[in-house]
Amino acid sequence: MGSVTHSLSGRIVLGIESSCDETAVALVRADRTVLAERIASQEAEHAPYGGVVPEIAARAHAQRLAPMIEATFADAGLALDDVDAIAATAGPGLIGGVMVGLVSGKALAMAADKPLIAVNHLEGHALSPRLADPTLQFPYLLLLVSGGHCQILAVEGVGRYRRLATTIDDALGEAFDKTAKILGLGYPGGPAVEKLALEGDGTGVPLPRPLKGSKEPHFSFAGLKSAVLRAKENQDGYSDADIAASFQQAAIDCLVDRLERAVSLSDPFPALVVAGGVAANRSVRDALEGFANGRDMRFVAPPLALCTDNAAMIGWAGCEHLAAKPDFAGDPLDLKARPRWPLDPEAEAARGAGVKA
């Protein structure tokens, strides 16, 4: 396997992301410079179906990835030989898409004799705040809120993630997307619900706060989604904007309550970090900032473009791997894509997990 050629801070990693509905490529240098970055959203392809269609996603990744890699190198004025490693998302995610990105990463690694770094997509999100903020040190408390996940993690170092809580049914982004669907706002739903909520009354519609006050700090959003559906069906005296605002407020109350619980069960953390697509939500950010400020914790939220899926976070995770493991020669090229890949393999299943309302 080819060796790393640049000095520590000059190392360059090609990042490839294809686990859901964004095809993304980035060239990231270990001194936290994103040298070039391309991202192609598949929103238009999936919008008619109201959600991501796995086969359409895989085909779109396959069509776009190779020309995007070429264009990203051209943007940066670099060639494949200039990179020290190739980092590709190897899971979790939609298997067809993950395979497209991983196979491309393997082919480039083999052709250029460079190490392949198989990155867990969730690790990309978990470490992305350190790309934007050089002062953010381990450990930190991470709220990871995306379309597929809702977890509280203790991030103790590169490769050292302890899951403190997870959702027993839906992810928060999924709940935003379903609320958007119920309200006829289309896909992707999160930003549309946030926008509509600005015009509504967050106390206008009584909605539940599932698991609020429960002993384990886990989340549940399926019941909230069902309540949104009932609120829409029985709509009386309140607007869609009130439903959106009340849903968002209920979700935020749950996040804060569950974080309070998690914090009460562990040693203090110097910082609270939020990552994942839902971290793009202004009201969510504001509430989390208030939570952290009240507890002497620093609050760190990456810039919006780093919150939703992107390849800079995958390239950066690759840089973190190289820095943390000086003798790392690369992951094996016969490594398989993993549709499921928990960040904390030791974490027990949450009680009630898998129960969907």
Q: What gap in Å lies between CA 243 and CA 272, rounded to an integer?
A: 29
Using CB under 6 A, count the residues that bind ligand KG4: 20
Residue 97 touching ligand KG4 (CB under 6 A) = no
In 3-state terms, the chain is what percent helix, strand and coil (to 5)? 45, 20, 40
**Candidate ranges 40-48, 226-234, 278-286, 315-323; the one touching ligand KG4 (CB under 6 A):** 278-286
- The residue among 209, 203, 205, 198 whose CA lies nearest residue 234 is 205
For residue 189, the minimal CB distance to ligand KG4 (Å) is: 5
In the bound state with ligand KG4, the residue whose beta carbon lies nearer, of 73 and 161, is 161
Return d(Cα 167, Cα 145) in angstroms, integer: 10
Stretch that binds ligand KG4, among 109-117, 171-179, 252-260, 325-333 (CB under 6 A): 171-179
Q: Report the alpha-carbon distance of residue 76 to residue 128 in Å, rounded.
A: 21
**Contacted by 250, from ligand KG4, Zn ion, none: CB < 5 to 8 Å by type:** none
Tell me which residues in 147-166 interact with ligand KG4 (CB under 6 A): 147-148
**What one-character DSSP code corresponds to residue 344?**
-
Output the smallest distance, CB 75 to Zn ion, in A: 23
Alpha-carbon distance of 10 to 21, in angstroms, equals: 31
To the nearest whole angstrom, how small is the minimum distance from the Cβ of residue 125 to Zn ion?
6
Residue 17 as a binder of ligand KG4 (CB under 6 A): the answer is no
Q: Is 280 in the site for ligand KG4 (CB under 6 A)?
A: yes
- Part in contact with ligand KG4 (CB under 6 A); list of ranges 63-71, 78-86, 186-194, 236-244: 186-194
DSSP 251: H
Q: 166 is in the binding site of which of Zn ion, ligand KG4, none (Cβ under 5 to 8 A by kind)? A: none
Task: Give least dist CB 308 to Zn ion, A.
Answer: 7
Q: Does 169 interact with ligand KG4 (rule: CB under 6 A)?
A: no
| Interface with ligand KG4 (CB under 6 A), residue from 12, 14, 16, 20 | 20
Return the one option of ligand KG4, Zn ion, none that residue 92 interacts with (CB less than 5 to 8 A, by type). Answer: none
Residue 117, contacted partner among ligand KG4, Zn ion, none, CB below 5-8 A by kind: none
Q: Could you tell me the smallest distance in angstroms from the CB atom of residue 102 to ligand KG4?
A: 16
For residues 51 to 90, the per-residue mask of contacts with ligand KG4, x marking binding by CB under 6 A and - elsewhere, is: ----------------------------------------
Q: Is the peptide bond before 67 cis (omega within 30 degrees of 0)?
A: no
Closest contact distance (angstroms) between CB of 81 and Zn ion is: 30
Q: Which residues bind Zn ion (CB under 5 A)?
A: 146, 309
Do the beta carbons of residue 147 and residue 177 sit within 8 Å?
A: yes
Contact between 97 and 124 under an 8 Å Cβ cutoff? The reply is: no
| CB 357, min distance to Zn ion, A | 24
Which of Zn ion, ligand KG4, none sits in contact with 176, Cβ below 5 to 8 A by type?
ligand KG4
Segment near ligand KG4 (CB under 6 A), from 51-59, 188-196, 230-238, 266-274? 188-196
Examine residue 18 and tell whether it contacts ligand KG4 (CB under 6 A): no
Interface ranges with ligand KG4 (CB under 6 A): 20, 146-148, 173-174, 176-177, 188-191, 194, 276-278, 280-281, 308-309
